[in-house]
Chain A
């Protein structure tokens, strides 16, 4: 009989612990990205690791209770992403979703977060719509967007005297948008577009487009494409000895993971804009070495962005003493962002996090001193010039 009593007490204890444990999570962070498809190197498991590092650096606890991290591979499928996001917000009490590549998936999750009144912090997503027409009080766009990359590259190159431009554009909405955006900056800065070629999407053979670009009077040949197209175009430009023609090759959407897979021999001389480079200063080097020890790869800008976003979110939760989404978001906007990723960042009311961007040139194999030593910094684009001005985005939250 005594035995039975003991057992009952034990069971009661276990049950109460179970209930307490269920309540005992202060904040639940869900990292959703592509871990098995085309964006796996750009973010993927490295992004999850970056979020984990942010939580560890913060101390693992907020509001006196532990922080929980979960992650999912959305396989670069928008429907899978939407399903997971719905389930996370509704059934698993996830407070904030981080990262999210693929613009269709990102825009879908922006809407889901708005409906469910929960937060989402984008890092890998590129579309500037997230802080334009589709902006949301629950969403923040952390690392970069298509506008910042195109504007950064165009303005800086024109300032350096490259006035005549030729476009090789992927023939679909994204490519056209990138070309028309960039053309606006070129014209505003006093440059001209001397020609353009529309390449089907996707293209394996860029030779005819590259030859007509080489025959033009342009100073800069801009690649208004992304991913595999950019890589193919750069490889073939290298085979045509494009860099000897005196024309500069500018990639409007390219990442350090692309450079890594291309190799310096093929990629050398390409000009691009990035939001982060691991070898910028002592702070970035220190963090990146820690990251390297875990992932055996240097961080991309989107992975560093995930760290920065998660850390800033946790600081805001701590400062506001609650995890109520709008209160936390308000705090996130009030507090400046000071970390290795963004020395002087701030979150605007339209959800855009503005920070310095960098115009870089890919080093030649001779200039590179070791593995992952890929970029020469040409120019730092200050935060207030790097991103689209709030009034031009058409975000309904700030228009009145």
Chain B
């Protein structure tokens, strides 16, 4: 049994000008100790999916349907009290903005200790000791001194390390990281990604990594879910996805990112474009959500939404024309 099973997840929002179907029928699973990346562009529903797993969606105007089974228990049926016991304890989350997700008036030690005292009933002293231990774990030098500092005394990279320390304090089984390195500079991003890879071996938590950065995906993920306009359009092991993408959207996405070193190999002089815009999620789309921008779209695509089909072992894509093995049909 998978650690987390998301089944036909729908998260809709009521807005004055229609229902926003931010996530509309997304299914995936995460095995214990595995790193799954969810990639897509802004508005594809990847962050809403993450928030839905922890039931952090305000209801109303939002509403969640489907099933989210964590260790076999459907979180959508859990009481608020049960959810509080799970959040930050068995499932924890790292957010994009390390400045705003820390409380500016509490010391770093207090913030790490708080989850421990809340979930594991540790005493103040034990919690502080553990906080020092966690700061050491995430590679913050002089941890003894740093636990007494406030977030504004730390740099952006340090703050993100503290966020990770808070998230890992209770030894969660699942860590949801929502764009954890997007706000960071590239040399700091390299430090944090390095830390995440290292911690994964040591702590063993499963990770759901939400990102738009295909480079980050290639570096840390084992399996990848590609989302577009509230739907999962492709899912594959990371090598298969980058080497033989099946869905035209994934192909377009990979083609539109320049590779560093292109001037040395003399590759591609022009980036592939995906023409057009993401469709509005406030209108129902009868066919394939990508049909309006797809270079291969036919009448069939605009009329009938393709089901997710297994194109190769462990590799599914929602496209009528993506071949089971090999490239896209002309």
A, B: real partners: no
